[in-house]
């Protein structure tokens, strides 16, 4: 039914006279499929148009509109006519679905994680790694005791220079100098 307002524009009667809140309450209270169908006919195309105007392509807009209407059916109990109109509620859901879709599109794909046991290391690599560890141990043993103790606290104890200074009572500058000298000696012996 089409009605003409006094000021002239043509308006669909169902847009003016339909109590959308009452229809949502019928969906909420009675799972009324006819009420939902009326809501769907009215809001689904408007939601799709809204989403397309906000930059979604037709396929995404259609999927989001379907999701919004499914949410209306499933969560009609969350609608409070005292807080917002049905249109405000529906378009808020649509806006949130659009934001979720944008976030999902921008989210990087997780890297593939290997399943199953780790492959056995190559024997040559394992031997080389063990030899390197042995050389490092021998180089550490040749350091003066004061330098070796600081290196062990810094790297094996995972302490910062400030924490080592607090533990030992040595000045921070002394800690840094000894560690720097020890690292220089280790580099020379390992190369």
All structural domains of the chain, each given as residue ranges with its CATH number in brackets, are: 2-106 (1.10.1740.10), 139-190 (1.10.10.10)
Buried/exposed code over 137-153 (b: 16+ C-beta within 10 A; e: otherwise): eebbeebeeebbbbbeb
* Tens of pLDDT, residues 134-187: 888 888 899 999 999 888 888 888 889 999 999 889 999 999 999 999 999 988
pLDDT for 17:
58
* Tens of pLDDT, residues 114-123: 676 777 778 8
DSSP 3-state assignment of 159? coil
Range 85-94 average pLDDT: 92
pLDDT for 155:
84
Element (H, E) at 116: none
Environment class of residue 76 by beta-carbon count within 10 Å: exposed (0-12), middle (13-18) or buried (19+)?
Answer: buried
Question: Does pTM surpass 0.75?
Answer: no
Of the candidates 60, 62, 69, the one whose C-alpha atom is nearest the C-alpha of residue 41 is 69
Tokens of 50: 């809204």
Phi, psi at 24, each rounded to 5°: -65, -40
Of the candidates 115, 30, 27, the one whose C-alpha atom is nearest the C-alpha of residue 73 is 27
Tokens of 88: 């405000």
């Amino acid at each position: 039914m089409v009605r003409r307002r006094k000021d002239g524009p043509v308006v669909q009667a169902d847009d003016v006279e339909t109590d959308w809140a009452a229809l949502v309450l019928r969906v909420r209270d009675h799972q009324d499929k006819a009420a939902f169908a009326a809501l769907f006919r009215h809001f689904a195309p408007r939601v799709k148009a809204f989403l397309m105007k906000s930059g979604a392509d037709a396929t995404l807009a259609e999927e989001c509109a379907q999701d919004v209407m499914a949410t209306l059916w499933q969560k009609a109990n969350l609608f409070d006519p005292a807080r917002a109109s049905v249109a405000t509620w529906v378009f808020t859901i649509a806006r949130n679905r659009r934001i979720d879709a944008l976030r999902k599109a921008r989210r990087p794909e997780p890297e593939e994680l290997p399943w199953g046991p780790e492959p056995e290391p190559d024997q040559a690599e394992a031997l080389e790694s063990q030899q390197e560890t042995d050389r490092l141990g021998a180089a550490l043993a040749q350091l003066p005791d004061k330098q070796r103790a600081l290196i062990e606290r810094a790297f094996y104890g995972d302490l910062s220079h400030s924490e080592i200074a607090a533990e030992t009572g040595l000045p921070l500058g002394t800690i840094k100098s000894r560690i720097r000298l020890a690292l220089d000696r280790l580099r020379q012996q390992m190369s």
